[in-house]
Each structure stands twice: as C-alpha cells, then as structure tokens.
Structure 1
Amino acid sequence: MRLRWSYDRLRSPEIQQCFLYCSLFREDYEFSRKELIEDWIDEGLINESGSRQKAYDKGHCILNRLERNYLLEKIVKSEVRFKMHDVVRDMAIKSIGPEVRYMVKAGMKLTKVPNEHDWAIDLNKVSLMANYISEIPVGFNPKCPSLSTLILAGNRNLSKIPSSFFEGMVGLKVLDLSGTGVEALPDSISNLVNLSALRLRECQRLKYLPSLAKLRALKKLDLFGAGIEVVPQGMEMLVSLEYLDLNCQNLKEIPTGILPSLSSLQYLVVYPSSGITKRKHIEEVARLSKLESLECGKKGIQDFNYLVNKAKDFESLTAYDLRLTTGERNIRDWEYADEHRKVLIAGCEIGEECIVLPDKLEVLKIHTCKTMKNMRSSLNKTVLLENATELRRCSIAYSGGIECLVELDSSSLCCPVLDKLVELKLSNLPDLIVLVRVEGVATPPHIFRNLRELDFSECLGMRKLLPLELLHALQNLEVIRVDNCRQMEEIIVSSDSDDTSSDKFIFPKLKELRLSFLPELKSICSAKGVMVCDSIEVISLVYCSELKRIPLQLPLLENGEPSPPPGLKELVMDAKSKKWWESVVELDQPNAKNILQPFVEFRRWGIWPTKPRANKTPSFSTPQREQSQKCV
C-alpha cells in the first residue's frame, strides 16, 4: 500500500509513465542516469520543444523525483547508478493500465524466443533483454501491428534474425539490439517506416545494415562499438535524425556530404577511429545549425586546435567532449559522465606548440602524456588556459615533464581561469616539484579560491605541498588527500625566515585530512603553527612514522577547556602506529590526546572503508550535475 501511495503521489502521468518504463529492465539491473534518460527520450516520454538537451535536463528532474519517492534506489560505486527494487518492480508491472500490454521476460535465462501465440496482436512493449536466446527460427512472424518497443539487448549469442521476424511489426518505434551477436540486420528493417530509435551499441560482429533511406522518422541511430566498416546506405536521407553515434573502430571513412544532409542533428559522436579524419568533416559539422552536443577526437595537436577554433562557430553547441589522443583504442567512456563540457588529452607528446582549449570548459583530464625530450614545463605553458574560465575539475595522471601546475611571471598571468576550480587531482607525475611557481609577481588572490578537493598520489618528486602564499585562497577547501608521495616532508610550507612563527592556519570548511604512506613526512606545518579546522570529520594518518606532532587546535568550551571538533567522526591510523600514537606524537593543548581518544581507531591493512592507496589507473568520482532549471 505504501509503495502504491508513493506511485500515486507522483500525480503527473508523464512521471508515472517514466517510472513504469523501468519495469522493462531485468530484476536488479543497474542503469546509469544517461542510459535511463536516453531511453525515456527514445520512447517519447519526455520532449522539450525539440531540444534534446532540454529533454535531458528534464529527465534529470524526473529521475530525482523518483528517487525522492523511494521508487528508484541509488547505487554509489565508481559512478552513480540506479536500480528498481524487486518489490517496486512487481508493483510497477501491476500498475500498467489495461490500455497498454507488456510482455516482460527480461533476465529469465530464456534460450528461445517466446512461442508465436505469446505474441498477442495488441502487444505494445516487449522486453527479452539479458537472456541466452541464440536464434530466432526461420519464418517466425509474430503479428504485432501495435508493438512500439522491442528490446533484445544483451542476448550475446543471438547471431541471426530472419527477415520474417519484423514483417508483422509495422508500428515499431524503438528497436534495441545492443550487445547482441548479430552479424547482419535483415532487409525487412528497411520497411519499418515508423522506427524512431535504432540502438545497436556494442554489436561488435555487425557488418551489414540494409538501406535506411525509408526510415524518415528515425531520430536516433546508435552504432557505438558496432563492427561496421562502411556507413549504412541511405543515411543521408535521415532528415529527422537527432542523435548519431558513429564511434565504430572499424569504420573506414564517412563520405563527405553525408553529415550536412542531417539537418536535424543535435547530438553527434565521431572519433578518428570512426572515419572522421579530414578537416573537411569538421567544416561539415560546423554547418549543423541545430547541433547541441558534440563528442569528437583528433590525433594531432594542429588538427585538434583547428577543431577547437572551429567549434566557436557552432552556434547551438551547449555540450562537448573533445579528445586529443594518438592511441587507437576506444577511450570514450570516462569519469565525470554528467558534465557538459570536457576535454581529454591522452597519449600525446607535448612540445613547443601549445594546445588550445575551448570556451566554457568544465573538465580537463590529461593522461599518459609527456613533454618532448629534455623539456620541463608547467601546465599553463603547454595548454592554453585563457579560454578555460569555467574550469571546475582538473586531473593529470601518468604524465612526465610537468614540474609545476602553474608557472607565473610578468609575461604570463593566466591564472584567473583557476578561480572556479573545485577539484584538483594529480597522480603519478614523477617530475612534479611544486604546485605553483611564482617569479617576479605576487600570487593572484583568486587562484584556487573555490577549490574543495585536493588530491595528490604518487608524485614522488614533491617535498612540500602548500606554500604559505596560497593558504589565504583555500578557505573553501574540504578535502586534502596525499598518498604515497615518498619524498613529501611538509604539508604547509614553513617560512624560510622564521620557523618559530605561531601562525594559525585556518581551514573553515576542511572535512577530511588523509595522509598515507609518507615515510619522510616530518611536519604538517611550522613548529609553532596550528591548524584551525572546526569542521573536520576525518583525520587519517597511515604510515607517517616520522611525523612527531599533530598541529590540530581543538575548539574551546565556555570554561576554556578544549573539546573535540563538533563534527569529528574518526581519527584513523594503521595498526602498527599504536605505539607511535601513545608515546611519540604530540598535540599542543593539555589533555588533547585523551579528548581525542574516543575517536581513535587502529586498522589493519586491507580493511579500510576508503581506498588508502591510489588505484593503478586513476579514477575520479563525480557528484551529480547541479540542476539549475525548475524541476517537475
């Protein structure tokens, strides 16, 4: 009854239909935000004045509403996913009205398609996803003229589909064969004139598609990871196409002239491996007046810079995912899946030619790059940051030749771009020495002023982390993580002139201080300095055996006695540090150890609630995209 009440409380028929759609998934299926919202758009359940991006934003609001009503469960892993609980799914199936007829046999270990008599003439939606169906019999011809949605995704052994199978499905609008083993689509596909979405993701064996010329209603064609070598015939006739994913590694070339004919296109995915190799292609893309989202990659710096400069002419573009990579492997999927504007630079040798970044960039990731031989540089000397005034997240990993993140002198004051930076993650940078290097100019007051998360791991050349000049700007810092930086000696750099200063280093919003595997760490700040961080929740000190003092200033009660920080949850150390804590480490205030003792926990290696070491391949979690629009 309570679940039914939650469903009825949605009130909006639009939201209720979005909820009922989730019953087509198999039990315990975990889906991403993008996957579910894209499905809703394909079904025509949400539509916002012809704008796919506005429909996507509205989908976020609907999904949030379903979560708030406990109808969808959030699963937090490496990325945020959702699932429908079995009991909720059963209720959803029972709530489907008599005017709609579903056949849902998803994840039921079927080896054959249901018998022909199970395919009722009034069926509207059929889900056979995630089964073991290996064949559809020759001549099998279900008569389902009202069928609008057919999902066969995840039947990996399904290699052939007879032409007769689709002949009785004249009203089919959504066909999902993603993740199947089909090698060729039957010619009867060409006659599905009402088809609006054809999903063929990860059909790696797929080599042949019949002509698509008659599919004038088709709005979405998803060929991500398909095995095709040439574009389907008749694709230039798809005047209603809004979504095209041509990220196919075997695709040899996209003939010039096709892209400009797709006048309704709003979402486009093309990479060097998928046949877009000429500057002519970029010029054609620039002519797509309705394009809102572009995922594209180039292999050379000059071609990438040309793409970025040309992107300024894309009048409707609100989202992009641009790649500069020399590798052939498919690297489309990455962290920050919900961000709008991203650039990835991977596997490149960066030389004297500066890489241009696009306007309004939100996320920059640099991975497995190196500077030219004998060249040492900073990020702002190799990447043109002036345009990236909206940069919020930056991660650099497994890259050589970078000595500092930002180098400032009288001729280069491009740091204002970093004043909106929220997250900075630096990992496996062997040549990194300092975060910021300033010569002949004052440190800009706005640099890093919005930074919330600072994460260093395996930067083996770093000895000192935060210079004093930066501290005034770090008032929004919430997380400091330093892991496996084996030469790290000091977190807050002491003044060279006066090591006896009794400064207070105030971090009003700091919640986590995690220091691990720092065998040379001798001090967190100057000998007489103290850290004031009354918002602290977690302090983790793992294998920092040379550290002799924790400079945490405890807040005082009205009677002047020290007390634990009000939000403190735990003070964590490795199991071998018990003696170190009891007899070596010092705190300044009297009785401070006894006050903190209830929060102390010694843990053995391998049972940490959060990872104590950097992953072999860095991974960065992303909060859900902030929604500014009015939610439904």
Structure 2
Amino acid sequence: MEDEILPILKYSYDNLQREHVKSCFLYCSLFPEDYEIKKEELVDYWICEGFIDAKDGKERAINEGYGIIGTLVRTCLLMEEGWKKTEVKMHDVVREMALWISSDLKDQCIVRAGVGLHAVPEVKNWRAVRRMSLMKNELEKILGCPTCPQLTTLLLQKNHKLVNISGEFFRFMPNLVVLDLSWNSSLTGLPKQISELVSLRYLDLSYTNIERLPVGLQELKQLIHLNLESMKSLESIAGVSKLLSLKTLRLQKSKKALDVNSAKELQLLEHIEVLTIDIFSSLVLEHLLCSQRLAKSIQYVELIEVEEESFKILTFPSMCNIRRIGIWKCGMKEIKVEMRTSSCFSSLSKVFIGQCDGLKELTWLLFAPNLTYLDARFAEQLEDIISEEKAASVTDENASIIIPFQKLECLSLSDLPKLKSIYWSPLSFPRLSELAVQEHCPKLKKLPLNSNSGTAGVELVVKYGENKWLEGVEWEDKATELRFLATCKSLYR
C-alpha cells in the first residue's frame, strides 16, 4: 500500500513550485507522529526560520504562511484538524516521505520526537546537524558540550521531567535560530550561557516554571519572537525592553502582572508588532495606549478584575489589530461605544465574557464585523447581547443598518439568569454552526432565528443543557420550530 502511495505523494511534493514551500512542508516532519501542530505556531516558526520574508510586516508574512498551509492541505500533504481547523498534522505515510526526503538532503536532521527518550541521543557528527527535534520525550537532564556550527533548530518542548540544562550545552551553537523549551513544567531556570546564542530569533519559554529570565537575555540582539505565556512562576520581565529587534511578545497568563512601570518599559520596543497581555488596571491600559505602536501591536488582551464602572472600550481606534478580548471579573456596568470608532474592531474574532455582574448588554459587538466566536457566562445582570435601544443610540441615523454576527461561527451562553434577548429580530447567521444555551438562562425564550437562518451552506445546530429551557422556547413560527427541533442536540448526551 505504502509503495503505491509514496510515488503519488512524492509527485505532489515535487509539484510544489517554490523551494520555500517545500522547506515549510519538510519542517512539519520535525513533530511526532499524529501530532497536531497549531497553525499559528507553525507560521511563527517559518517566519523566524526565514522561509517567509517578513520585511513587509508581520501581518503580510502571517497571511503568506496561512496561504502555504492552504496549499499543503489542498495537495493532501497536510490535514486540517480540530473543530475550528486551527491545527494541522501529517499522515504517517506523508511524514515518512518527508523524513526520507530530508535524509536525502545535505542538511542533516535528527528527529527523535515522541519516542520515549531518557537522554540526548549519541550523534556521530554534531558538526553536520542542521535541525534536531527531541520534543515530547522523557528527558530529565541535558548535558554535554556539543559543537554544532550548523544547528539552526532545536525543539525540546514537552519534556515534562526536564529539570536541568547545562550551560555548556549552548556554548557552540552560533547559528541557532529557533529554540523551543515550552511545556517543560519542571524547568525552573536557564543557564546564563543562553546569551551566547547570538543568532537566536525565536525563543519559547511558555508553560515552564522559570522564575527569572536568564541573565544576559538582552544580548540576544536578533531575537524577534519571545513567548512567555502561562509562566506561573515568572517574577520579572526585566530586560525585555532591551531586545531591540523584538517583534512578537506573548505575556498572557503569566504570573508577572503588567504594572505601569512594565507598560512604560514596553514602550521602548521600537519594532513590536504582536503583543498579548493580561491587564488588571485601566491605568495600565492607558499607558499602553499612549504609544500608537504598542496599541497597534495588541492582538490578544484579557481585562481581569478591572473595577471601573464605565469602560470606553471603543475609544481607542489605534487598537486596530486586536483579535481576541477576554473580560473577566470586572466591575464595569457598561462598555461605552462611540460611532466614530466603529471600524476599530475589524480584526476582532473572539470575545469571552465571564463573571462581569454589572454588565447589562454587549451592544459594542455591533462594531466587530468579523466576530467568529462569542462566549458569555456568569453575568448576573446581562439582559441583552445586542440592545435595540442602545444600538439606536450608537449608530448614525444616516448610516446603513449594521447587521451583526454575519461571520459568527459559535455562540455559547451559560449562567445568565436575566438574559432575555440575543437580538430583537431574526438574523441570517450565514456561518453559525452552533448556538449553545448551556445552563441557567431561564428568561431567554426567544432566539433570533427563523426558517431562513443558517441556510447558506453551514448546518446551524441549537445545543441545550436543560430540557426545561428547550420546552419553553418561543419559536418565530411553526416552520422554524420544526426545522431546529429536528436537529437540536443535548450538550450532555
């Protein structure tokens, strides 16, 4: 069977017209069998490796990366995975072919990913090694002092037992570009010799328990991508502002909360293009937004325990690239909108609202035309998702009517005891596949659906957590009732 398939797959590979697309494909073989690779991370690797030219900006490079993924999927060299198709993986046979092609090239790759290693494998000729993947193993210590003048890629993530990396290990890796140490939960520190990785462009320390960034971090003059997300023990981000080439900085869910001084320090990053952060104070946000460059770089932000009663979330037109917003345990009673900033959230695709007991409506979502995912839960006072009265007050009388949720794919609602309305009239929902009313939304009797909703080729399914709620739904008409009851699904069966 494989003998029949391999020539076909090799033909697909040979037909990839551009060499950098072939390099992107072969890179995927560094991951273990059946491993789901996040598209976002894969594109970041490719950019830092130099397969994709980012001289015209990160956004354009990202778009090119996703285009390459699309090409590889269409040629059956990669498969899309996950409900949201945010991951890709290689079929085992395709991976075998990719490893075979890589072994036939001059650039030697050592791929021992996900095979249960307890120690770094012996290598006859370290000088020839170009890429090494030892991810998802049982490594506890990384010792030795290999001389690796050609090594550009070192993937060490998901070695959960890893507690120590010898400083000597990094001494002779002058051309290392990508170093991934993420998901090494037992790792609490890094040696100072990491500062000798003068060619490093990509460093991922996310999901480790490192307490302090390594001494000499600022010596990494070429570093453009630094991931510090979910570092629950991180005490300080001192030195980050001295990374003058840095373009991507990920800080969400790390222990070190961003304070005013940290926000001021980030303003020194002259080339920053992507920033992900958690914010516990509107004062910190104001300092970030004092810099137009920083404001434009914010892509993911979570507002946590912000106590201001009124929050003008749409008075910051410079936050034009924000893609995901989470608002948790905040004391705000309203999120103000202003018509003149209605284009602010054209990039926003995901919104999460939780435990915000003062909010009564989320009408500002009118100004997020590309929203794909909305999750609202545990908001005791929330009465409307889009308020008809508020919508009338924030839209221009002379402007065309804004029809919300045209790109929404998933709407999830839970524990909203006063919620009465999502929208006051039926909507087409051309892309919505799931409307989930999970639990404790007793006053939500009317859904914005009619028999024409969700008829654009995507099957729209209403999911429910309580039979009592479903029995109380007041459908638009009999045709609507028959159509959606036929496909309703319980969330717990």
Aligned equivalent of 1:600, options 482, 486, 490: 486
- Cα separation, partners in 2 of 1:306 and 1:58, compared to 1, 3 Å: same
Aligned equivalent of 1:158, options 113, 129, 140: 140
In 1, Cα distance between equivalents of 2:442 and 2:316: 37
TM-score calculated relative to the size of structure 1: 0.59
- Name the residue aligned to 2:320: 390
1:392-411 map, 5 Å:
393=323, 395-406=325-336
Aligned equivalent of 2:418, options 487, 491, 494: 487
User: What whole-Å deviation, never above 9, does each CA across 1:515-534 have from its counterpart, x for those lacking one?
Assistant: 55465427539xxxxx7856
In 2, Cα distance between equivalents of 1:467 and 1:226: 44
Aligned equivalent of 1:175, options 143, 148, 154: 154
In 1, Cα distance between equivalents of 2:285 and 2:105: 63
Q: Are 2:245 and 1:316 aligned?
A: no
In 1, Cα distance between equivalents of 2:423 and 2:449: 13
- Name the residue aligned to 1:524: 446
Q: Displacement, 1:460?
A: 1.8
1:546-557 map, 5 Å:
none
For structure 1, the 5+ residue unaligned runs are 102-123, 252-271, 324-343, 438-445, 494-504, 526-530, 539-564, 608-632
Q: Displacement, 1:70?
A: 1.4
Q: Are 2:360 and 1:433 aligned?
A: yes
Identity %: 18
Indicate the SS of the match to 1:320.
strand
Q: Displacement, 1:127?
A: 1.3
Q: Are 2:23 and 1:11 aligned?
A: no
In 2, Cα distance between equivalents of 1:23 and 1:489: 51
- Cα separation, partners in 2 of 1:100 and 1:402, compared to 1, 3 Å: same
- Cα separation, partners in 2 of 1:92 and 1:72, compared to 1, 3 Å: same
Aligned equivalent of 1:467, options 369, 387, 392: 387
In 2, Cα distance between equivalents of 1:214 and 1:516: 52
- Name the residue aligned to 1:27: 33
Aligned equivalent of 1:273, options 214, 235, 240: 235
Q: Displacement, 1:63?
A: 2.0
Q: Displacement, 1:66?
A: 0.7
- Cα separation, partners in 2 of 1:129 and 1:577, compared to 1, 3 Å: same
- Name the residue aligned to 1:133: 117
- Name the residue aligned to 1:114: none
- Name the residue aligned to 1:293: 248
In 2, Cα distance between equivalents of 1:518 and 1:511: 26
Q: Is the 8 A contact 2:167 2:193 kept in 1?
A: no
Q: Is the 8 A contact 1:301 1:355 kept in 2?
A: no
In 1, Cα distance between equivalents of 2:263 and 2:198: 36
- Cα separation, partners in 2 of 1:368 and 1:65, compared to 1, 3 Å: same
Q: Is the 8 A contact 2:226 2:249 kept in 1?
A: no
In 2, Cα distance between equivalents of 1:52 and 1:215: 23
Q: Is the 8 A contact 2:225 2:248 kept in 1?
A: no
Indicate the SS of the match to 2:296.
coil
Indicate the SS of the match to 2:127.
coil
Aligned equivalent of 2:369, options 444, 450, 464: 450
TM-score calculated relative to the size of structure 2: 0.73
What amino acid maps onto 1:369 in structure 2?
E
Indicate the SS of the match to 1:426.
strand
- Cα separation, partners in 2 of 1:430 and 1:14, compared to 1, 3 Å: same
Indicate the SS of the match to 2:80.
strand
In 1, Cα distance between equivalents of 2:163 and 2:215: 16
In 1, Cα distance between equivalents of 2:370 and 2:57: 33
For structure 2, the 5+ residue unaligned runs are 1-6, 393-399
Indicate the SS of the match to 2:132.
strand
Aligned equivalent of 1:377, options 283, 287, 309: 309
User: What CA RMSD, in Å, does the superposition of the two structures yield over aligned residues?
Assistant: 4.6
In 2, Cα distance between equivalents of 1:593 and 1:53: 45
More strand by share: 1
Q: Is the 8 A contact 2:386 2:423 kept in 1?
A: yes
Q: Displacement, 1:72?
A: 0.6
In 1, Cα distance between equivalents of 2:134 and 2:142: 12
In 1, Cα distance between equivalents of 2:300 and 2:201: 31
What amino acid maps onto 2:14 in structure 1?
D
Q: Displacement, 1:90?
A: 2.5
Aligned equivalent of 1:142, options 113, 124, 127: 124
Radius of gyration: which is bigger?
Answer: 1
Q: Displacement, 1:473?
A: 4.2
In 2, Cα distance between equivalents of 1:5 and 1:201: 35
Q: Is the 8 A contact 1:42 1:174 kept in 2?
A: no
In 2, Cα distance between equivalents of 1:353 and 1:242: 23
1:40-189 map, 5 Å:
40-41=46-47, 44-47=50-53, 57-77=63-83, 80-96=86-102, 98-100=104-106, 124-135=108-119, 142-163=124-145, 166-167=146-147, 169-180=148-159, 181=162, 183-185=164-166, 187=168, 189=170
Aligned equivalent of 2:264, options 306, 312, 316: 306
1:548-587 map, 5 Å:
576=467, 580=471
Q: Displacement, 1:85?
A: 0.6
What amino acid maps onto 1:131 in structure 2?
V
User: What whole-Å deviation, never above 9, does each CA across 1:325-352 have from its counterpart, x for those lacking one?
Assistant: xxxxxxxxxxxxxxxxxxx32xx36689
Indicate the SS of the match to 1:125.
strand
Q: Is the 8 A contact 1:510 1:533 kept in 2?
A: no
Q: In the comparison of the two structures, how many residue pairs are matched?
A: 461
Q: Is the 8 A contact 1:399 1:428 kept in 2?
A: yes
- Cα separation, partners in 2 of 1:291 and 1:394, compared to 1, 3 Å: closer
Q: Displacement, 1:459?
A: 1.9
What amino acid maps onto 2:152 in structure 1?
K
In 2, Cα distance between equivalents of 1:248 and 1:603: 34
What amino acid maps onto 1:184 in structure 2?
I
- Cα separation, partners in 2 of 1:320 and 1:535, compared to 1, 3 Å: farther
In 1, Cα distance between equivalents of 2:480 and 2:199: 72
- Cα separation, partners in 2 of 1:228 and 1:160, compared to 1, 3 Å: farther
Q: Is the 8 A contact 1:422 1:451 kept in 2?
A: yes
In 1, Cα distance between equivalents of 2:469 and 2:314: 49
In 2, Cα distance between equivalents of 1:361 and 1:517: 37
Q: Displacement, 1:606?
A: 1.0
1:489-508 map, 5 Å:
489-492=420-423, 505=425, 507-508=427-428
- Cα separation, partners in 2 of 1:221 and 1:426, compared to 1, 3 Å: closer
Q: Displacement, 1:61?
A: 2.6
- Cα separation, partners in 2 of 1:576 and 1:4, compared to 1, 3 Å: same
What amino acid maps onto 1:31 in structure 2?
I
- Cα separation, partners in 2 of 1:4 and 1:603, compared to 1, 3 Å: same
